[in-house]
Chains A and B, each alone.
Chain A
């Protein structure tokens, strides 16, 4: 294990062990483990290393500023969080989004989902000692970052590309061929992932089994819930943008172990590729931003009201509860990140009774992001 450890003897064979918060090992997060020999008796999550108070910050800022701020909620899924913020403001203001903007939003959100799933594969590999997977994943992810740079101007942070009213710029000419070219590369990557490295498989099969009843009880969503046997996807059950027009499958598995969760991720990359291809084929002409937002206005009043927006991001269900009292800034914003429940109740539950050596496999199989936990 490549973690920095702090040993504290409790009983004869019992001691306390820190997993994390070294960035390459666990991200900005740590778990306090109580261990008897090699077996974990109890685990307590210790979040807060990335707490930036976004919910409070947004109360002081205009929607045009919050669009940029929303990038930072999760480093790996900046565009998805952009989209959630934009949808919340759109719904409060009752703006009609042009068709073309909706399609561009879907294409960007799905590209972002693919690159997030690739990172998942990368960190899952390095967590279990398979370095090749990590390097491969980050290599292939760069093709998508090139697309982001071309379309939004930023590689990782799009600085509010998906903004209230639509998107900030139209996609440049010739993007379609480039996106399709990158998707072919990703296909290649998926084939490599599917080969199944025996060293990796031996460490993740039958590890960290989460039963369906426990998954629901602890509030798991997204790939974690689907790997435990529940066919549930916000894009299908609570459709937003134009997801109801596309034909795609929701992968489900009944095993509920670390391996099943990771396979769900790979299947989802394939489905996302198919969604992007359909969206590119049907991409309509027209405006990319609503009339009201053609020229960016600073002091727009958000009408009084409240909305709860849900999206399916790569880690699970993301939500934003926005309340406005009629001012120019939101009165209250609550951000619901999927990792909040995956990293506290689900992780603590799965670690109890497992072995020290299995901690990284369980931890990374949950597709977690400390940034959207802490906010």
Chain B
């Protein structure tokens, strides 16, 4: 295994500029934490320094902390490094700035999915219409407190139907 010189260099550069926490996991994998306020300026800086490819945006629901964790997985074709940015937002008031002005339609459609599945609002995203779910009336389904078994029982089964009554036992 080679030494992690270029990964450490990248992490030092970002930490010095944005006063953040981070770690090098292994070769080509760097993780940094950033506050919601610094997210956009950090993303702008990273895009300029070669992180042109937004691989994915994901949300993790930390129910017991009362927070959503947004992760942005970025790949640089030049540095050949995957950088993950992590930022936490309040679960009760899930508003995050949109990165779609930076990564264009790519970010826009990822945010659209995360809006549908977790109910996170992305300020500045022009199109957060439903993507996968049709006529969905329930709460955002990927949240940890959404009990899909209970929801299906309530919405789709009939207690009086002999064959479906087993779901209520």
Contacts and interface: CB of A to CB of B under 8 A. Distances in A.
Interface in A286-317: 306-308, 310, 317
B104 to A, nearest CB: 5
A216 B53 CA distance: 7
A53 to B, nearest CB: 7
Contact of B106 (A55, A218, A232, A237): A218
B131 interface: yes
Interface in A176-231: 216-219, 221, 230
A340 B109 contact: yes
Nearest to B29: A308
Interface string A33-53: 000000000000001100101
A340 B56 CA distance: 10
Contact of A336 (B55, B84, B117): B55
Interface stretch (A80-88, A137-145, A341-349, A354-362): A341-349
Contacts of B25: 307
B131 A321 contact: no
Interface residues of A, number: 34
A56 B55 contact: no
Contacts of B20: none
Contacts of A332: 58, 60-61
A42 to B, nearest CB: 13
B143 to A, nearest CB: 10
Interface in A48-84: 48, 51, 53, 55-56
Contacts of A308: 29, 55, 73, 82, 84
Main secondary structure of the interface of B (DSSP, over half): mixed
A251 interface: no
A348 B61 CA distance: 31
B168 interface: no
A334 interface: yes
B157 interface: no
Given A237-B80, A310-B55, A321-B73, A217 B105 contact: yes
Q: How large is the interface on B (under 10, 10 to 19, 20 to 34, 35 or more residues)?
A: 35 or more
A350 to B, nearest CB: 12
Nearest to B112: A344
A48 B105 CA distance: 19
A219 B80 contact: no
Interface string A323-352: 100000001101010001100110011000
Contacts of A349: 105
B109 A217 contact: no
27 contacts: A47-B132, A48-B133, A48-B134, A51-B132, A56-B142, A56-B148, A217-B103, A217-B104, A219-B53, A219-B106, A232-B77, A237-B77, A238-B28, A306-B31, A308-B82, A310-B82, A317-B75, A319-B56, A321-B71, A321-B73, A331-B60, A334-B58, A336-B55, A340-B109, A340-B113, A341-B109, A345-B105
Interface of A: 47-48, 51, 53, 55-56, 216-219, 221, 230, 232, 237-238, 306-308, 310, 317, 319, 321, 323, 331-332, 334, 336, 340-341, 344-345, 348-349, 374
Given A56-B142, A332-B58, A344-B109, 11 more contacts: A56-B148, A217-B103, A217-B105, A219-B103, A238-B82, A310-B55, A310-B75, A310-B82, A319-B56, A323-B60, A336-B56
